A and B are shown apart, each in its own frame.
Chain A
Amino acid sequence: MEFTVDYVLSYFIPSVELKSYFIILFTASTAMLAASILTAYRYLKGNLPLTTLFCTLFITLSYMATDYLITYMFFGNTEELTINEQLGFYPLYSFFDIFTGIALLLITPFLSSEPTKRIPSSTLVAVGVLLVNAVAHLGYLFNAFVSPYDITIASIMYIGTINITDFILILTLFFPVTTNRVVDTLLEKRELAYS
Protein backbone atom coordinates (compact mmCIF):
# COMPACT_ATOMS: atom_id res chain seq x y z
CA MET A 1 0.00 0.00 0.00
CA GLU A 2 2.80 2.36 0.91
CA PHE A 3 4.52 1.58 -2.38
CA THR A 4 1.31 2.40 -4.24
CA VAL A 5 0.84 5.71 -2.45
CA ASP A 6 4.47 6.59 -3.06
CA TYR A 7 4.16 5.59 -6.68
CA VAL A 8 1.07 7.75 -7.18
CA LEU A 9 2.64 10.66 -5.32
CA SER A 10 5.78 10.30 -7.38
CA TYR A 11 3.86 11.69 -10.35
CA PHE A 12 3.24 14.88 -8.45
CA ILE A 13 6.20 15.55 -6.18
CA PRO A 14 9.52 16.56 -7.73
CA SER A 15 12.33 14.61 -6.08
CA VAL A 16 15.38 12.61 -7.12
CA GLU A 17 14.28 9.34 -5.54
CA LEU A 18 10.92 9.22 -7.33
CA LYS A 19 11.73 9.11 -11.03
CA SER A 20 8.19 9.26 -12.45
CA TYR A 21 8.24 13.06 -12.33
CA PHE A 22 11.22 13.11 -14.66
CA ILE A 23 9.67 10.50 -16.96
CA ILE A 24 6.66 12.80 -17.51
CA LEU A 25 8.94 15.81 -17.88
CA PHE A 26 11.13 14.27 -20.55
CA THR A 27 8.18 12.63 -22.32
CA ALA A 28 6.66 16.11 -22.75
CA SER A 29 9.95 17.51 -24.07
CA THR A 30 10.41 14.61 -26.48
CA ALA A 31 6.83 15.00 -27.74
CA MET A 32 7.48 18.71 -28.33
CA LEU A 33 10.67 17.90 -30.21
CA ALA A 34 8.74 15.44 -32.38
CA ALA A 35 6.06 18.10 -32.94
CA SER A 36 8.76 20.58 -34.00
CA ILE A 37 10.21 18.15 -36.53
CA LEU A 38 6.73 17.37 -37.88
CA THR A 39 5.85 21.08 -38.09
CA ALA A 40 9.13 21.86 -39.88
CA TYR A 41 8.41 19.10 -42.38
CA ARG A 42 4.85 20.38 -42.96
CA TYR A 43 6.15 23.97 -43.30
CA LEU A 44 8.68 22.88 -45.90
CA LYS A 45 5.90 21.10 -47.78
CA GLY A 46 3.94 24.37 -47.71
CA ASN A 47 1.05 23.15 -45.55
CA LEU A 48 1.67 25.41 -42.55
CA PRO A 49 2.52 29.12 -42.23
CA LEU A 50 5.75 30.50 -40.80
CA THR A 51 4.00 31.70 -37.62
CA THR A 52 3.10 28.13 -36.61
CA LEU A 53 6.66 26.95 -37.17
CA PHE A 54 8.02 29.86 -35.14
CA CYS A 55 5.59 29.17 -32.30
CA THR A 56 6.43 25.45 -32.17
CA LEU A 57 10.19 25.92 -32.35
CA PHE A 58 10.26 28.73 -29.78
CA ILE A 59 8.14 26.84 -27.26
CA THR A 60 10.19 23.66 -27.71
CA LEU A 61 13.43 25.56 -27.16
CA SER A 62 12.00 27.23 -24.08
CA TYR A 63 10.79 23.94 -22.61
CA MET A 64 14.10 22.22 -23.30
CA ALA A 65 15.94 25.05 -21.57
CA THR A 66 13.60 24.72 -18.58
CA ASP A 67 14.15 20.94 -18.51
CA TYR A 68 17.89 21.52 -18.55
CA LEU A 69 17.48 23.79 -15.53
CA ILE A 70 15.38 21.20 -13.68
CA THR A 71 17.86 18.45 -14.46
CA TYR A 72 20.70 20.67 -13.32
CA MET A 73 18.80 21.45 -10.14
CA PHE A 74 18.37 17.79 -9.21
CA PHE A 75 21.38 16.06 -10.74
CA GLY A 76 23.93 18.75 -11.60
CA ASN A 77 25.24 19.37 -8.12
CA THR A 78 26.95 16.68 -6.09
CA GLU A 79 26.08 18.54 -2.90
CA GLU A 80 22.51 18.59 -1.71
CA LEU A 81 20.75 21.85 -2.56
CA THR A 82 19.44 24.03 0.21
CA ILE A 83 15.78 25.03 0.27
CA ASN A 84 16.73 28.56 -0.82
CA GLU A 85 18.61 27.22 -3.84
CA GLN A 86 15.76 24.89 -4.76
CA LEU A 87 13.11 27.60 -4.49
CA GLY A 88 15.31 30.03 -6.41
CA PHE A 89 14.71 28.02 -9.57
CA TYR A 90 10.93 28.51 -9.61
CA PRO A 91 11.01 32.24 -10.53
CA LEU A 92 13.38 31.22 -13.36
CA TYR A 93 10.84 28.72 -14.72
CA SER A 94 8.25 31.47 -14.51
CA PHE A 95 10.55 33.90 -16.32
CA PHE A 96 11.15 31.37 -19.10
CA ASP A 97 7.40 30.92 -19.64
CA ILE A 98 6.68 34.66 -19.44
CA PHE A 99 9.40 35.70 -21.87
CA THR A 100 8.44 32.92 -24.28
CA GLY A 101 4.83 34.15 -24.23
CA ILE A 102 5.82 37.80 -24.63
CA ALA A 103 8.11 36.93 -27.55
CA LEU A 104 5.31 34.96 -29.22
CA LEU A 105 2.85 37.83 -28.76
CA LEU A 106 5.24 40.50 -30.02
CA ILE A 107 6.84 38.65 -32.96
CA THR A 108 3.99 36.53 -34.40
CA PRO A 109 1.90 39.43 -35.88
CA PHE A 110 4.98 40.76 -37.70
CA LEU A 111 5.79 37.33 -39.15
CA SER A 112 2.24 36.68 -40.27
CA SER A 113 1.69 36.66 -44.02
CA GLU A 114 -2.04 37.39 -43.62
CA PRO A 115 -3.05 40.95 -44.53
CA THR A 116 -4.93 41.37 -41.24
CA LYS A 117 -1.82 40.30 -39.21
CA ARG A 118 -4.01 38.30 -36.86
CA ILE A 119 -2.35 36.08 -34.24
CA PRO A 120 -3.43 32.46 -34.97
CA SER A 121 -5.71 30.81 -32.43
CA SER A 122 -3.22 27.96 -31.84
CA THR A 123 -0.58 30.51 -30.82
CA LEU A 124 -3.10 32.15 -28.50
CA VAL A 125 -3.82 28.78 -26.87
CA ALA A 126 -0.07 28.25 -26.39
CA VAL A 127 0.27 31.74 -24.89
CA GLY A 128 -2.64 31.00 -22.53
CA VAL A 129 -0.97 27.77 -21.41
CA LEU A 130 2.27 29.66 -20.75
CA LEU A 131 0.32 32.27 -18.78
CA VAL A 132 -1.21 29.57 -16.56
CA ASN A 133 2.11 27.73 -16.16
CA ALA A 134 3.90 30.93 -15.13
CA VAL A 135 1.34 31.73 -12.47
CA ALA A 136 1.41 28.07 -11.28
CA HIS A 137 5.17 28.31 -10.67
CA LEU A 138 4.64 31.52 -8.72
CA GLY A 139 1.74 30.02 -6.77
CA TYR A 140 3.86 27.03 -5.74
CA LEU A 141 6.60 29.40 -4.62
CA PHE A 142 4.12 31.54 -2.71
CA ASN A 143 2.78 28.42 -0.97
CA ALA A 144 6.33 27.51 0.05
CA PHE A 145 6.66 30.95 1.64
CA VAL A 146 3.38 30.64 3.50
CA SER A 147 3.55 27.01 4.65
CA PRO A 148 7.04 25.60 3.99
CA TYR A 149 6.54 22.31 5.88
CA ASP A 150 3.36 21.15 4.15
CA ILE A 151 3.78 21.07 0.39
CA THR A 152 2.05 17.80 -0.59
CA ILE A 153 -1.32 19.25 -1.63
CA ALA A 154 0.38 22.24 -3.25
CA SER A 155 2.68 19.86 -5.16
CA ILE A 156 -0.24 17.78 -6.37
CA MET A 157 -2.09 20.90 -7.53
CA TYR A 158 1.05 22.38 -9.10
CA ILE A 159 2.21 19.30 -11.00
CA GLY A 160 -1.40 18.42 -11.92
CA THR A 161 -1.91 21.86 -13.45
CA ILE A 162 1.42 21.72 -15.27
CA ASN A 163 0.68 18.24 -16.66
CA ILE A 164 -2.80 19.19 -17.92
CA THR A 165 -1.58 22.43 -19.52
CA ASP A 166 1.43 20.67 -21.05
CA PHE A 167 -0.88 18.04 -22.52
CA ILE A 168 -3.02 20.80 -24.08
CA LEU A 169 0.14 22.46 -25.37
CA ILE A 170 1.44 19.25 -26.95
CA LEU A 171 -1.93 18.68 -28.63
CA THR A 172 -1.84 22.27 -29.91
CA LEU A 173 1.66 21.85 -31.29
CA PHE A 174 0.83 18.57 -32.99
CA PHE A 175 -2.52 19.71 -34.45
CA PRO A 176 -2.34 23.49 -35.04
CA VAL A 177 -4.88 23.55 -37.88
CA THR A 178 -7.47 21.58 -35.90
CA THR A 179 -6.89 23.80 -32.85
CA ASN A 180 -7.40 26.90 -34.99
CA ARG A 181 -10.64 25.48 -36.36
CA VAL A 182 -11.97 24.38 -32.95
CA VAL A 183 -11.11 27.63 -31.18
CA ASP A 184 -12.48 29.79 -34.00
CA THR A 185 -15.71 27.78 -34.04
CA LEU A 186 -16.08 28.07 -30.27
CA LEU A 187 -15.46 31.83 -30.34
CA GLU A 188 -17.90 32.31 -33.21
CA LYS A 189 -20.54 30.37 -31.33
CA ARG A 190 -19.99 32.48 -28.25
CA GLU A 191 -20.29 35.69 -30.27
CA LEU A 192 -23.49 34.45 -31.87
CA ALA A 193 -24.93 33.56 -28.47
CA TYR A 194 -24.33 37.10 -27.21
CA SER A 195 -25.48 38.87 -30.34
Chain B
Amino acid sequence: MDFSPIIYVKCALAAFTWLVFFLLVIKRKNIERLAQSIHIQRLTVELLNTELQMKLHPVGPERMALFEKCDAIKSELRTSSGLPSHCTSNTPNENSTPENVVSLHAKRLNKRVV
Protein backbone atom coordinates (compact mmCIF):
# COMPACT_ATOMS: atom_id res chain seq x y z
CA MET B 1 0.00 0.00 0.00
CA ASP B 2 1.29 3.48 -0.87
CA PHE B 3 1.27 5.90 2.02
CA SER B 4 1.62 9.64 1.72
CA PRO B 5 5.14 10.93 2.53
CA ILE B 6 3.56 13.48 4.89
CA ILE B 7 2.55 10.64 7.22
CA TYR B 8 6.13 9.39 7.32
CA VAL B 9 7.37 12.89 8.16
CA LYS B 10 4.68 13.27 10.86
CA CYS B 11 5.61 9.89 12.29
CA ALA B 12 9.33 10.75 12.35
CA LEU B 13 8.61 14.10 14.03
CA ALA B 14 6.39 12.43 16.61
CA ALA B 15 9.07 9.82 17.32
CA PHE B 16 11.71 12.54 17.74
CA THR B 17 9.43 14.53 20.08
CA TRP B 18 8.73 11.36 22.05
CA LEU B 19 12.48 10.87 22.51
CA VAL B 20 12.77 14.44 23.81
CA PHE B 21 9.87 13.74 26.16
CA PHE B 22 11.52 10.54 27.37
CA LEU B 23 14.77 12.42 27.97
CA LEU B 24 12.91 15.05 29.99
CA VAL B 25 11.26 12.33 32.09
CA ILE B 26 14.67 10.83 32.83
CA LYS B 27 16.19 14.24 33.60
CA ARG B 28 13.24 15.46 35.68
CA LYS B 29 15.47 15.94 38.74
CA ASN B 30 17.38 18.61 36.80
CA ILE B 31 14.13 20.49 36.17
CA GLU B 32 13.32 20.25 39.88
CA ARG B 33 16.80 21.55 40.76
CA LEU B 34 16.41 24.43 38.29
CA ALA B 35 13.09 25.42 39.85
CA GLN B 36 14.64 25.13 43.30
CA SER B 37 17.63 27.30 42.38
CA ILE B 38 15.38 29.98 40.87
CA HIS B 39 13.29 29.92 44.07
CA ILE B 40 16.45 30.27 46.22
CA GLN B 41 17.71 33.12 44.04
CA ARG B 42 14.37 34.94 44.39
CA LEU B 43 14.43 34.42 48.18
CA THR B 44 18.02 35.68 48.44
CA VAL B 45 17.20 38.87 46.54
CA GLU B 46 14.13 39.38 48.71
CA LEU B 47 16.23 38.85 51.85
CA LEU B 48 18.84 41.38 50.75
CA ASN B 49 16.18 43.96 49.91
CA THR B 50 14.44 43.41 53.25
CA GLU B 51 17.71 43.71 55.18
CA LEU B 52 18.50 46.93 53.32
CA GLN B 53 15.08 48.35 54.17
CA MET B 54 15.51 47.23 57.77
CA LYS B 55 18.80 49.08 58.15
CA LEU B 56 17.25 52.27 56.76
CA HIS B 57 14.57 52.32 59.46
CA PRO B 58 15.22 53.54 63.01
CA VAL B 59 14.71 51.16 65.92
CA GLY B 60 10.99 50.69 66.36
CA PRO B 61 8.03 48.51 65.46
CA GLU B 62 8.61 48.85 61.69
CA ARG B 63 12.21 47.69 62.00
CA MET B 64 11.05 44.85 64.27
CA ALA B 65 8.47 43.76 61.65
CA LEU B 66 11.15 43.79 58.94
CA PHE B 67 13.48 41.83 61.21
CA GLU B 68 10.81 39.17 61.70
CA LYS B 69 10.25 39.07 57.94
CA CYS B 70 14.00 38.57 57.47
CA ASP B 71 13.90 35.70 59.92
CA ALA B 72 11.00 34.09 58.07
CA ILE B 73 12.82 34.43 54.73
CA LYS B 74 16.01 32.98 56.24
CA SER B 75 14.07 30.04 57.63
CA GLU B 76 12.48 29.38 54.22
CA LEU B 77 15.87 29.75 52.56
CA ARG B 78 17.40 27.17 54.89
CA THR B 79 14.56 24.73 54.18
CA SER B 80 14.81 25.29 50.43
CA SER B 81 18.53 24.80 50.29
CA GLY B 82 18.32 21.58 52.29
CA LEU B 83 19.74 22.93 55.54
CA PRO B 84 17.89 22.36 58.82
CA SER B 85 15.81 25.28 60.00
CA HIS B 86 17.86 25.70 63.17
CA CYS B 87 21.38 25.42 61.86
CA THR B 88 24.02 25.02 64.56
CA SER B 89 27.06 24.81 62.31
CA ASN B 90 28.72 27.89 63.88
CA THR B 91 28.24 26.81 67.47
CA PRO B 92 31.05 24.69 68.95
CA ASN B 93 30.16 21.04 69.26
CA GLU B 94 30.83 19.55 72.66
CA ASN B 95 31.50 16.09 71.31
CA SER B 96 34.04 17.30 68.78
CA THR B 97 36.90 17.33 71.33
CA PRO B 98 37.98 13.75 71.92
CA GLU B 99 39.17 12.94 75.41
CA ASN B 100 41.57 10.10 74.72
CA VAL B 101 43.94 11.99 72.40
CA VAL B 102 47.36 13.00 73.66
CA SER B 103 47.85 16.74 73.49
CA LEU B 104 50.57 18.26 71.34
CA HIS B 105 52.32 19.67 74.39
CA ALA B 106 52.44 16.23 76.04
CA LYS B 107 53.73 14.69 72.82
CA ARG B 108 56.58 17.25 72.65
CA LEU B 109 57.40 16.57 76.25
CA ASN B 110 57.55 12.85 75.55
CA LYS B 111 59.87 13.46 72.60
CA ARG B 112 62.21 15.42 74.80
CA VAL B 113 62.22 12.62 77.33
CA VAL B 114 63.04 10.07 74.64
Whether the pair B32, A116 counts as a contact (CB closer than 8 A) is yes
Closest Cβ of chain A to B43, distance in Å, is 9
Whether the pair A138, B18 counts as a contact (CB closer than 8 A) is yes
Residue of A nearest to B17 (CB): A98
Closest Cβ of chain A to B22, distance in Å, is 7
Q: How many residues of A contact B (CB 8 A)?
A: 35
Question: Given the complex of chains A and B, what is the CA–CA distance between A112 and B34 in angstroms?
Answer: 13
Residue of B nearest to A101 (CB): B21
The contact size tier of chain B is: 20 to 34
Interface centre among A87, A94, A135 (most CB of B within 10 A): A94
Among all A-B residue pairs, the 3 with the closest Cβ atoms? A109-B35, A91-B10, A117-B35
Which residues of B are at the interface with A, using a C-beta cutoff of 8 A?
1, 3-4, 6-8, 10-11, 13-15, 17-18, 20-22, 24-25, 28, 31-32, 34-36, 38-39, 76, 79-80, 82
Which residues of A are at the interface with B, using a C-beta cutoff of 8 A?
83-84, 87-88, 91-92, 94-95, 98-99, 101-102, 105-106, 109-110, 112, 115-119, 124, 127-128, 131, 134-135, 137-138, 141-142, 145, 148-149
* 11 cross-chain CB contacts under 8 A: A91-B10, A91-B11, A94-B14, A94-B18, A102-B20, A102-B21, A110-B38, A112-B35, A115-B79, A117-B32, A131-B25
